[in-house]
Copies of this chain bind each other. A is one copy, B any other.
């Protein structure tokens, strides 16, 4: 058995299987952001590392239709880190927290050989939570923004050691304005962190649905992860409302598939193990 699946099977309970866990009006998410797993030191400044570690967690809260409020921060930092670097890291974390109105309420700091950041974020539901399992037969499946640039940046970083500093890889744009306004017309959602192919498979698996492409995305769009755009679905009768909100919030959306009965199984392997 796939090791990640074994772990998921062991811990399986009613709270799991979504971007975040819902308990009453509160929503809880946790993501790890580790050197040499999620980033290399030569790719990102300490400020960019701090910023992205927070943003990827806020993303999980937002796609549940909740507003991130509080965070616990676990920092494992090398002994060699300088005071200037600590201040840079803090600057990135603060920038993200200020932008989204989040307070750091606790955490733990240890010395480690690599930078390992562990963030837990708690948010408050704006209204009804949006779950992955809400995907309905006949739903349009869409994503926000553009996909592909993050993978291009990653390839460029691996091959030539640099990429544009404006890349989404450094600075994902979260679609909170669009999502909060349109949430009541949305049946299911998740953020695209592992790439459309893998995340679409997860969405379908959660709801025990299949899909057919209306317009098949190109390879870069299918495989690019870490843009933190939103994958979401809605009933065809709400299409006009969704498109109107997208226009109003200047959010590009691409309707690319339709949910069907049956199951969808991908052969794409998780990168985690």
Contacts and interface: CB of A to CB of B under 8 A. Distances in A.
Interface of A: 1, 3-4, 6-8, 10-11, 13, 15-16, 20-21, 23, 28-32, 34, 36-38, 70, 72-77, 79, 81, 83, 86-87, 90, 94, 103-113, 116, 118, 120, 122, 271-273
B106 A37 contact: no
Contact of A106 (B1, B29, B106): B29
Contacts of A72: 21, 28-30, 120
Given A106-B20, A116-B116, A74 B6 contact: no
A122 B31 contact: no
B21 A106 contact: yes
Nearest to A9: B90
A202 to B, nearest CB: 14
Given A21-B105, A105-B21, A105-B23, A30 B86 contact: no
Contacts of A94: 10
B79 A109 contact: no
Given A70-B23, A118-B118, A107 B34 contact: no
A92 to B, nearest CB: 11
A118 B70 CA distance: 17
29 contacts: A3-B83, A6-B87, A7-B109, A10-B90, A15-B103, A15-B105, A16-B104, A21-B72, A21-B105, A21-B106, A23-B105, A28-B106, A28-B122, A30-B73, A30-B108, A30-B120, A31-B108, A32-B74, A32-B76, A32-B116, A32-B118, A36-B113, A37-B76, A37-B110, A37-B112, A76-B116, A79-B273, A111-B271, A116-B116
Contacts of A13: 103-105
Identify which of A15, A116, A271 gathers the most chain B CB atoms within 10 Å of its CB: A116
A16 to B, nearest CB: 6
Contacts of A70: 21, 23, 28
Contacts of A7: 75, 86, 90, 109
A4 B83 CA distance: 10
Nearest to A37: B110
A147 B220 CA distance: 59
Contact of A16 (B21, B83, B105): B105
Given A23-B105, A29-B72, A110-B272, 20 more contacts: A3-B77, A6-B83, A7-B86, A10-B86, A11-B90, A13-B104, A16-B104, A21-B72, A28-B106, A30-B108, A31-B108, A34-B116, A36-B113, A37-B76, A37-B110, A74-B74, A76-B116, A111-B271, A116-B116, A120-B120
Nearest to A10: B90
